[in-house]
Structure 1
Amino acid sequence: MTRFGIEEEFMLLDEDTLVPVPLGSAARTALPSGSGEVMKEFLTSQIEVATSPVSTLADAGRELRAFREGLDAFARRHAAVAIGTGTPFGIGPETSVSASERYSTIAHRLGHIVDGHHVNGLHLHIEVADEEARVRAMNAVRPWMPTLLALSGNSPFADAQDTGYQSWRSIVMRRLPLAGCPPHFQDFDDYRSTVDGLVRQGVISDIASVSWAARLSANYPTIEIRVFDAQLAVADTLLLAAVGRALAVSAPGDPRAHDTDSIQASLWAASRDGLDATLIDPETDALASARDLAALLLRTITPALEESGDLAFVQEHLDRVVRSGNGAQRQRTAYAENGIAGLRSLGCAVALPGETEAGETMTGMPGTGVPGEWNA
């Protein structure tokens, strides 16, 4: 079974104002081992966890739940809330760039962009051993990225106001040198020569600074899907992981070089309107609703989901999101009903409302795999 890994970014916020607070370093020190690899992130208010390379959603879920439970307990001890959201509700003066030579180089290069770059994403690594197959997988994911963003939009607020967008994070990301849809690449040499040229030009500082919504990992034999906002609950993250893996392993499909500008336009529409957006159909290039494309995506990846044992889980939770809304809609509802207290209640959610045992009752959860290390 194809292995995958998940990287989740969280922001630590003051519990009363939901303004970022610089607790990332303290949280990394305090969190126990055994809950994934806890890593420094770009801002001092952020923290990131990376799962082991795993084969099943069950294994990923155990690591993600353990980390969220530990992070939530830490935040409560420090009058803070840790939340999986693409952008924080409020922006305060206390946040700064984490101490790191690489981060300092990036911050100097980006200049004033850094001051408003409060973003949190969900990154999904899918193991693809062959370099050329990795490029084919990324090309296959490209036209589906707007649908993935519509499903995962979870950043409606910034600067203590409603932005009018479902994914404000993806709008903020557009200011980076490389953002949104990557080009269509002919082969692995085409990818590497393009990225190496950008480094030589000084557009990015190194190959790990590529910020397209999908890229080839600089360190592992993986394709990395980065289009997703950070997610509120573990079930949300696992849904996107299952869908992303199935899409990548279904890759050999359509060899067409889908128009980058059309995909970029659909990404903007998805960031604005989420599941209510009108997007470009990856199969016909006609206009279609995001909800119809979510159904088409499910039909497209069903064979891969059946092979991995994830079909029942994806059917249940994809239907939930399409019916009840993505994270942005849930945040707006919580804020409308109870203001900042409503948003605070979503912090570092492990289970969805109505679940028990931190999501263990989710339908279709597959069995245990064997985690290991990527063969870099």
Structure 2
Amino acid sequence: MTRFGIEEEFQLLDEDTLVPVPLGSAARAALPSGTGEVKKEFLTSQVEFSTSPVDTLAAAGEELMAFRRALASFAHDRGAVAIGSGTPFGIGPEASVFASERYDTVAHWLGHIVDSHHVNALHLHVEVPDEEDRVRALNAVRPWMPTLLAVSGNSPFADGHDTGHASWRTVIMRRLPLSGCPPHFRDMRHYRSEVDRLVAQQVIPDIASVCWAARLSANYPTVELRLFDAQLSPEDALLLAALGRALVESATSAGDPVHTGDDIQASLWAAARAGLGATLVDPSSGRLIAAKDAVCLLLQTISPALEKSGDLAFVTDGLDRVLRTGTGAQRQRAAYAEGGITALRALHAVASDSEVHDAAGQQ
């Protein structure tokens, strides 16, 4: 089976105000790096966990659950809560950047943008050994990105307010020069030349700063999907991993349909704004389609790959659950409407300690 890896970014918030607190370094020092890897992140209030390269959802789920439980315990002991959300509820003071040569460079590049750049993502790496296959997969993934975003939006709050968006993180990311939909590339040579030109132009400081919603990893032989908000629960994260892996697997054997970047960018905006209530551009026909119908079309498209990996039942159940109970953004809004910060904090705590769905554990 195709190997993949999940990178999850978490933010540590004061349990009473849900404002970021600078506990990232302490968390990295205290938490074990056994299976998977605990890493620094851009802000002092953040910590990142990367799974090992794995080939099953069950293996990824074990690592995600172990880290989330350890992080939740660490936070609780310090009067904090660790959240899996694209943005924190409250911002408070300006963002504090973790001191390092690279992050100092990125902060200088971002300028004033960095002061409110509180964003947390889930990144999915899908291994594709052949570099030209990687380019073809990246091209084929492009038109499906809005559908994936509609399913995964999980950042409705910022600055203590409802933003009116399902993925406010996506809106924040649009301030960066290479956000959203990547261009269509002819081959690997074209990809490399375009990225090198952007670095030479000083649009980005280095190759690692490519911020498209999907890109080719600079360090691994992978297609990297970067459009997902951080997720409430490990079950949510695994659903996105299964969808993303199957889509990349399906794409490597597909042709190279060219969809206009403007169409995809518009659909990404719609998905960020309205989530599963959005109207998107159909990746197959180019006609307008309801996001929920696009989800069904995506499942139909990737079902052969899901069957091959044994993930079809898990993904079918997971999508049914999201369509029935809502995305992370919808669940956060419902909790806040019911009980304010107290209920929102409880939602994050329960999600961090939730069990992975049986279908993932039975692989």
**TM-score, scaled to structure 1:** 0.94
- Aligned partners of 2:9 and 2:122 also within 8 Å: yes
Match of 1:274 in 2: 275
The answer as to whether partners of 1:310 and 1:366 remain within 8 angstroms in 2 is no
Could you report, residue by residue, the CA deviation over 1:181-205 in whole angstroms, capped at 9, with x for unpaired residues? 0000000000000001111111111
Change (3 A) 1:110 1:346: same
SS at match of 2:348: coil
Aligned to 1:198: 198
Matched, 1:304 2:300: no
Corresponding residue for residue 90 of structure 1: 90
1:277–1:239 distance in 2 versus 1, CA, 3 Å: same
Q: How far did residue 253 of structure 1 move? A: 1.9
Q: Can you list the C-alpha shifts for 1:135-193, whole angstroms capped at 9, x where unaligned?
A: 01111110000000000000000000000000000000000111000000000000000
Q: Which residue of 2 aligns with 1:239?
A: 239
8 Å Cα contact 1:8/1:121 also seen in 2? yes
Residue in 1 aligned with 2:187?
187
- How far did residue 366 of structure 1 move? 4.4
What TM-score, normalized by structure 2, do the two folds share? 0.98
Contact preservation (8 Å) 1:309, 1:364? no
Shift of 1:104: 0.3
Q: What amino acid maps onto 1:104 in structure 2?
A: D
SS at match of 1:345: helix
C-alpha distance in structure 2 between counterparts of 1:242 and 1:71, whole Å: 24
2:25–2:44 CA contact under 8 A, matched in 1: yes
Aligned letter for 2:269? W
- Contact 1:311–1:364 under 8 Å retained in 2: no
In 2, Cα distance between equivalents of 1:366 and 1:242: 14
In the alignment, residue 235 of structure 1 is paired with which amino acid? E
In the alignment, which residue of structure 2 is the partner of 1:363?
359
Supply the distance in 1 between the matched residues of 2:182 and 2:85 (Cα, whole angstroms). 24
* RMSD after superposition: 1.1
Instruction: Output the CA distance in 2 between the equivalents of 1:365 and 1:38.
Output: 23
Give the fraction of aligned pairs with identical amino acids, expressed as a percent: 69
Residue 25 of structure 1 pairs with residue 1 of structure 2: no
Name the aligned partner's letter for residue 21 of structure 1: V
Q: What letter matches 1:362 in structure 2? A: D
Q: Tell me the amino acid that sits aligned with residue 228 of structure 2.
A: F
**Structure 1 gap ranges (5+):** 353-357, 368-376
Q: Structure 1 residue 57: deviation in Å?
A: 0.1
2:256 match: 255
User: CA separation in 2, counterparts of 1:344 and 1:115?
Assistant: 24
* Aligned partner letter, 2:154: N
From the superposition, tell whether residues 47 and 136 of structure 1 become closer, same or farther in structure 2 (CA, over 3 Å).
same
Question: Hey, what's the Cα distance between the residues in 2 that align with 1:240 and 1:96?
Answer: 30
> How many residues are paired up?
361
1:139, 1:259 → 2: CA distance? Answer: 11
Q: Retained in 1: the 8 A contact 2:156–2:162?
A: yes
Partner Cα distance (1:327, 1:180) in 2: 20
Structure 2: stretches of 5+ with no match in the other structure: none
What corresponds to 2:70 in structure 1?
70
Distance (Å, rounded) in 2 between the aligned partners of 1:338 and 1:102: 41
- Cα offsets for 1:82-130 (capped at 9, x unmatched): 0000000001116400011010011011100001100000000000000
Secondary structure of the structure 2 residue equivalent to 1:183: coil
How far the C-alpha of 1:343 sits from its partner, in A, is: 1.1
| 202 and 311 in structure 1: CA distance in 2 versus 1, 3 angstrom threshold | same
4+ long deviations beyond 4 Å: none
Separation in 2, partners of 1:31, 1:351 = 16
Measure, in 1, the Cα distance between the counterparts of 2:101 and 2:360: 45
Greater mean deviation of Cα atoms: 249-258 or 292-301: 249-258
3-state SS of the aligned residue for 1:76? helix
Q: Assess, with a 3 A threshold, how the Cα gap between structure 1 residues 160 and 35 changes in structure 2: closer, same or farther.
A: farther
Q: Tell me the distance in 2 between the aligned counterparts of 1:233 and 1:276.
A: 22
Structure whose residues are more often helix by fraction: 2
State the secondary structure of the residue aligned to 2:347: coil
Superposed CA offset, 1:324-370 (max 9, x none): 21000000000001100111112252455xxxxx22x5235443xxx
Q: Are 2:80 and 1:80 aligned?
A: yes
